[in-house]
Structure 1
Amino acid sequence: MPRIPRLASTATAALALGLLAAAPAAGHEPTVTDAHIVTRFGLAAGRMPENIALERDGSADLTLAYARQVVHVAPDGATRTLATLPAVANPDTPLMHGAVVTGIVRAHDGTLYVNYATGTRKTGIWRVPGAGGTPVQIAELPQDGLPNGLALDERRGMLYVADSVRGTVWRVPRSGGRATAWAGGAALGPLPAPPANGYGANGIKVHRDAVWVSNSDRGTLLSVPIHADGSAGPVQQRAGGLEGIDDFTFPGHGNTVLAALNGTSKVVLVRRDGTHTVVLTQQDGLSNPTSVAVRGRSVYVPSAAYVTRQDPNLLLASLRYPAGRL
């Protein structure tokens, strides 16, 4: 394990986690700048940050995969545990071979929802009080699947889950209940492993009346329209050539995306026409990034170090462009 340096002062970190002001960048200037690590996690303890949800004050809630924890990272970099998912005897999650907590979303009332994958009946969506407390399972998902990304559509009262093994998007009422297979097909499915990794649908977001999904094995970014009756429309490919894409976010109101490329330790800006540019790399501090979140002009990137086995962390950077331009 690398030595963990002392965190920045409270005032400095609080400023960094705020809404950073910057002048619009010229065309030749980088889109994302000022990258630095806010806090580091312990690899040996399984504290590998997998997914992220942001609080209104600029703090972050993270899932730590193999530690089975949900943690809160304050603006000063301090970390506290909000919940620990229950241990499972003989967990056998496909591909992961252990019990892992994956996707996370935060509702406007502060309630957190997380995916928990175990290979048992505890696999599913769990609710966690916003201030921390005992997690409660609200929906069961297939034991032979891998619920990965999680998205919340508060307007429709629905949660959407990307299942990487079954190549399925599951839909569950926010209040809990039975999971319905909402979308599927080859475009969402994994490729055979080996030679591929066996990860299909991975990251997921609800954006502009559609569910957007990344496919890690196929290196694609997809969208699925939500029809007026709530059913899924045809899967549409928005971008390709995104090797090892994990989760992603929309930095503005348009269809521009910031996406984490896990295997190559990069974050890319995916434009509306499907082309993409690398904006962060391993040299900036990335170590198998798993997800991206944006508040104002602040860009948050958790790295789980699944392959590098070095320095799982939470990185912060700044958008040079106003979000409205993206």
Structure 2
Amino acid sequence: MPRRPRLTGAATAALALGLVAAAPAPGSEPPVGDARVVARFDPAAGQRPENIAPAPDGSADLTFAFARTVARVAPDGTRTTRATLPAVTGAATPLVRGAVVTGIARAHDGTLYVNYATGTRATGIWRISPGGAPAQIAGLPPDGFPNGLALDGRRGVLYAADSVHGTVWRVPVSGGPATAWAHRTELRPARAGAFGANGLKVHRGAVWVSNTDRGTLLRVPVREDGSAGTPETRARGLDGIDDFTFPGAGRTVLAALNGSNQVVLVGRDGGHTVVLTAADGLAGPTSVAVRGRTVYVPSAAYRVQRDPNLLLARLRYHFGRL
């Protein structure tokens, strides 16, 4: 958010245990630990890591918002530039003014999709094919702010959250006109000039969206015909929530709270527990990703104005389908 994931009785029991979201016993280790900062970035060069897509080799692709770049960061902190979005003359992006690269999604073949917010016709979703140059595949309203982005490979569509218009846009993965898939009060900011719909994930038949200004986490069911169902508020009181992820197959969520400089674990009942703080190295976390047992947290330092970084931690518990 720029600022100016036939049996015997014994086998059945074992399976049931494997499907339960594990909860730490009293006195046991916290669910996330072993945090360490593996890379630090230069804010003067626009290197504010906004969103993240882990790669199969353990590295991660990051959008550097104001540098208009996508960089790959290896687990040892080594980084290379994957792509640079074209400069825009007269950028007038709502909320931030300058041109910014925001959400990122990764396809199985390594193709990357990113949101580019500029206040011009360049605003929209851009594709970065392996070894290729960025190409715009869909336009979005120049007076909006495309933020979180997710790929639904089964349906062959991309979803983008618009923080200004309180809208989730849907675009064919092959490119083409964008459709306002969901446009609801729950997705809009409560105040003028604030960020509404922000982070976005596709998970178990629904599109999940965070609303930064309202501090809420929403679940929007995808109906059989592909249309949007009625939004359900799954959690409240998440101050400055940005993007988030699912650490397992269930409804447990790891969320970045930019406003309070925390990463929290949100349970299926909507309650949340702090699992990472500034003491672990956070500096305004913007998103969270999980691959295997590795937790990735980029911090853009928009508020604290120092030490944007990438933090890695370890997920100590398994979270199943509940």
TM above 0.5: yes
Q: What is the DSSP-based 3-state SS (H/G/I as helix, E as strand, rest coil) of the residue aligned with 1:44?
A: helix
Q: What is the DSSP-based 3-state SS (H/G/I as helix, E as strand, rest coil) of the residue aligned with 2:67?
A: coil
2:4 alignment counterpart: none
Matched residues in 1 for 2:23 and 2:234: separation? 26
1:138 alignment counterpart: 137
1:89 alignment counterpart: 89
Q: Deviations over 1:5-55 (max 9, x none)?
A: xxxxxxxxxxxxxxxxxx985333311111110101100000000000011
Please give the TM-score of this superposition, normalised by the length of structure 2.
0.91
Deviation at 1:76, TM superposition (A): 2.4
Q: Decide whether the 8 Å contact of 1:59 with 1:72 is kept in 2.
A: yes
1:248 lines up with 2:244 in the alignment:
yes
Matched residues in 2 for 1:35 and 1:160: separation? 31
Which of 225, 233, 242 aligns to 1:229? It is 225
2:65 alignment counterpart: 65
Q: Decide whether the 8 Å contact of 1:82 with 1:133 is kept in 2.
A: no
The code of the aligned residue for 1:127 comes to R
2:5 alignment counterpart: none
The code of the aligned residue for 2:305 comes to R
1:1-326 to 2 correspondence within 5 Å? 25-28=24-27, 29-130=29-130, 132-193=131-192, 198-324=194-320
Matched residues in 1 for 2:132 and 2:127: separation? 10
Identity %: 70
Deviation at 1:263, TM superposition (A): 1.6
Query: Which ranges in structure 1 are unaligned for 5 or more consecutive residues?
Result: 1-22
Query: Which ranges in structure 2 are unaligned for 5 or more consecutive residues?
Result: 1-21
Q: What is the DSSP-based 3-state SS (H/G/I as helix, E as strand, rest coil) of the residue aligned with 1:156?
A: coil
1:18 alignment counterpart: none
Q: What is the DSSP-based 3-state SS (H/G/I as helix, E as strand, rest coil) of the residue aligned with 2:320?
A: helix
Deviation at 1:323, TM superposition (A): 3.7
Q: Deviations over 1:268-297 (max 9, x none)?
A: 000000000000001111011000000111
The code of the aligned residue for 1:93 comes to T
The code of the aligned residue for 2:249 comes to H
Matched residues in 2 for 1:57 and 1:34: separation? 20
Matched residues in 2 for 1:51 and 1:211: separation? 18
Matched residues in 2 for 1:322 and 1:232: separation? 30
Q: Decide whether the 8 Å contact of 2:252 with 2:319 is kept in 1.
A: no
Deviation at 1:101, TM superposition (A): 0.1
Q: Decide whether the 8 Å contact of 1:24 with 1:320 is kept in 2.
A: no
Q: Which moved more, 1:284-293 or 1:25-34?
A: 25-34
Q: What is the DSSP-based 3-state SS (H/G/I as helix, E as strand, rest coil) of the residue aligned with 2:313?
A: strand
Q: Decide whether the 8 Å contact of 1:161 with 1:170 is kept in 2.
A: yes
Q: Decide whether the 8 Å contact of 1:146 with 1:164 is kept in 2.
A: yes
1:16 alignment counterpart: none
Q: Decide whether the 8 Å contact of 2:283 with 2:308 is kept in 1.
A: yes
Q: Deviations over 1:188-227 (max 9, x none)?
A: 001224xxx5100000000000000000000000010001
Please give the TM-score of this superposition, normalised by the length of structure 1.
0.90
Q: Decide whether the 8 Å contact of 2:217 with 2:234 is kept in 1.
A: yes
Matched residues in 2 for 1:311 and 1:68: separation? 19
CA gap of 1:223–1:24, structure 2 versus 1, over 3 A, is closer
Matched residues in 2 for 1:167 and 1:325: separation? 30
Q: Deviations over 1:48-81 (max 9, x none)?
A: 0000001111110000000000010123211000
Deviation at 1:129, TM superposition (A): 1.8
Matched residues in 2 for 1:26 and 1:98: separation? 48
1:4 alignment counterpart: none
Question: CA RMSD, aligned part only?
Answer: 1.4
Structure 1 segments, 4+ long, off by >4 Å, are none
Matched residues in 1 for 2:187 and 2:116: separation? 20
Matched residues in 2 for 1:318 and 1:49: separation? 20
